[in-house]
Amino acid sequence: MSVDPWLTIVGLGEDGPDGLPHASRKALENAEVVMGAARHLSLLPQITAETVTWPVPYADGLTLLLKNRGRQTVVLASGDPFWHGAGGSLTKHLEPGEWRSLPAPSTMSLAAATLGWPLESTITMGLHAAPFARLRPHLANGARAIVTLRDGDAASDFAAWLTGIGFGASTLHVLEALGGPRQRIRQSAAQELAFTDITHPVSVAIEAQGGPALTTASGRADTFFENDGQITKRPVRALTLSALAPLPGEHLWDIGGGSGSIAIEWLLAHPRTRATSVEINADRAERIKANAASLGADRLKVVTGAAPEALAGLDAPDAIFIGGGISEEMLQTVWQQMPEGARLVANAVTLEAEVLLANWQAQNGGDLLRIELAHANPLGRKRGWKSAYPIVQWSVTK
């Protein structure tokens, strides 16, 4: 049985209802309750509906909204509610058929139309309630991005952050109140931004310049990861990520996280990948969190504790990496907890660990790979090869 929606999510531009399509204006005329931020409510003409200012914290507003279930209710949102907007957080609390959305042009669309940037080749991100570092993997010379920010102070903080990571030469287009009578657009290099009167709502378009950029290939430079020597080095990391073969939506267990480089690169492979890093050393666990945050992978979950005990209660993995502390007990526990179809990659350095992996490979199949690397080093007035310890890698699908 179809049910008429009691909730309408209306996208509102800075010119208020004047620029709204007929359906949005009609929804406002027929509403019993209108909810929205104070800024959005101030754009409306005199209306007969009860008005409710959306409170802070945001979650309290959801409680108020659901109390109106069954009454004709309008929630005001900026632009397109489902493009870095409030739509997704609202509708996950509702049943199909309870709501409808009437979008207006999004901030991203207005910015692209103003600057002449094709949206399909422009990075778009909502950073008004997210760390600036979410943009870090996308920054490279010539990259274009449009981001929403919390307020004018955040725009200055954003410019300082860009400068701090080497992208101070980037051109910033500071976009205020797009689409309305207060619209203002100004440009500055990030390292020179000195505007003190930036007003909300604000977004920033970036033409990136500087570096260093993060390569899109596995095996990023070791220098991106703060570490105390416990790190899977770049060439071995590239081979390990290739064996782990991350897919969108998959979850990795990184056992013996060290610097977090494996888990972080897993997360950089796709925005829907998930990862949990298990590290016994508390200092290293904190370092893993900091590395993840600085590289835009703050969704990494870090568990401080000893495996296999620390694995209890974790979400089931699609792939597992064991980079240190391999033991018979560890492999037994991991193998029992792995679901069918999950992948395991383990790297061994010691002879004892090599024997252990060889035995497990003989029993359970998979591939054994011996990795031997050497780097050119000074040898007197000439150069010679300095070999690293060989690594034996076992990769298997259960």
**Per-residue pLDDT tens digits for 321-379:** 998 779 999 999 999 999 999 999 999 999 999 999 999 999 999 999 999 999 999 99
Q: Are 151 and 79 within one domain?
A: no
Cα–Cα dist 300/302, whole Å: 6
Cα–Cα dist 226/259, whole Å: 7
- What are the phi and psi torsion angles at 322 (to 5°)? -115, 110
**Count of residues for the chain?**
398
Average pLDDT, the chain: 94
Tell me how many domains the chain contains. 3
Distances (CA, A) of 73 to 35, 87, 196: 8, 14, 38
- Would 217 be classed as within a structural domain? no
Cα–Cα dist 299/319, whole Å: 17
CA angle 320, 326, 332 (to 5 degrees): 70
Among the listed residues 226, 206, 218, the one whose alpha carbon sits nearest the alpha carbon of residue 155: 206
In order along its 398 residues, the chain shows pLDDT tens digits of 345 799 999 999 887 777 788 899 899 999 999 999 998 999 888 888 999 999 988 889 999 999 999 999 999 998 999 988 889 989 999 998 999 999 999 999 999 999 999 999 999 999 998 999 999 999 999 999 999 999 999 999 999 999 999 999 999 999 999 998 899 999 999 999 999 999 999 999 999 999 999 999 999 999 999 999 999 999 999 999 999 999 999 999 999 999 999 999 999 999 999 999 999 999 999 999 999 999 999 999 999 999 999 999 999 999 999 987 799 999 999 999 999 999 999 999 999 999 999 999 999 999 999 999 999 999 999 999 999 999 999 999 99
Distances (CA, A) of 177 to 19, 106, 151, 160, 228: 14, 12, 11, 22, 47
pTM for the model: 0.91
DSSP state of 56: S
Q: Are 124 and 66 within one domain?
A: no
Distances (CA, A) of 45 to 12, 52, 73, 185: 13, 15, 17, 27
Strand 382-387, strand 50-53: pairing: unpaired
Q: Which CATH number fits the domain that encloses residue 259?
A: 3.40.50.150
Q: Are 24 and 85 within one domain?
A: yes
Query: What integer pLDDT is reported at residue 16 of this predicted model?
Result: 77
Among the listed residues 1, 4, 2, the one whose alpha carbon sits nearest the alpha carbon of residue 99: 4
Structural domain boundaries, residue 77? 7-105
Query: What integer pLDDT is reported at residue 221 of this predicted model?
Result: 96
- Would 216 be classed as within a structural domain? no
Q: Are 179 and 194 within one domain?
A: yes
- What are the phi and psi torsion angles at 155 (to 5°)? -65, -40
157's tokens: 């903080």
Q: Which CATH number fits the domain that encloses residue 31?
A: 3.40.1010.10
DSSP state of 38: H
